[in-house]
Amino acid sequence: MRSEAGLPVPAPSPTAETAEFWAATARGTLLLPRCDECSTVIWYPRVFCPACGSQTVSWIEASGRGIIYSFTVARRGMGPYKDAAPYAVAYVELEEGPRIMTNVVDDDPGSLEVGMPVQVVFHDTGEGSALYRFRRAGGGDR
């Protein structure tokens, strides 16, 4: 399966710690764990806080907005991405704080810039989840 951006949409393999996150993606929602003790927003989803060690973590709905922190353009893909090049792989710094690795879609990869505002979009895997990806803020629909 491929997204409208031409990228493959492989289904993730949720664990007990990530099942709620992946279920939310199917609803078009970006959920992130946040520590109830120190308020650190956590990435990658887990049941403890890597900042303070607390095991009291709650889920919050993230804004889905951020900026490109860093990126590269893959000009040659491998595996399911073999025929998708060129495509952008980026770290996006979310408004809530964490930096997450993702793809930036719906733009010429050569036009991306560090600091560019982006917003989340979801690409359905067809298996009860969706992959989170980002596009330039202000463009297109979810």
- Distance CA(74)–CA(71), nearest Å, equals 10
CATH number (domain holding residue 30): 2.40.50.840
Across-strand partners of 118? Answer: 66, 136
Residue 113, in any domain of the structure: yes
Per-residue pLDDT of 31-86, as tens digits, reads: 999 999 999 999 999 999 999 999 999 999 999 999 999 999 999 999 989 999 99
Residue 4, in any domain of the structure: no
Total number of domains constituting the chain: 1
Overall pTM surpassing 0.95 (yes/no): no
Q: Which domain holds residue 110?
A: 19-136
Residue 45, in any domain of the structure: yes
Question: Is 64 within 8 Å of 42 (Cβ atoms)?
Answer: no
Residue 46, in any domain of the structure: yes
Give the list of residues 6+ apart from residue 51 with CB closer than 8 angstroms, or none. 35, 38, 40
Residue 14, in any domain of the structure: no
Per-residue pLDDT of 83-133, as tens digits, reads: 999 999 999 999 999 999 999 998 789 899 999 999 999 999 999 999 999
Residue 55, in any domain of the structure: yes
Question: Is 142 within 8 Å of 121 (Cβ atoms)?
Answer: yes
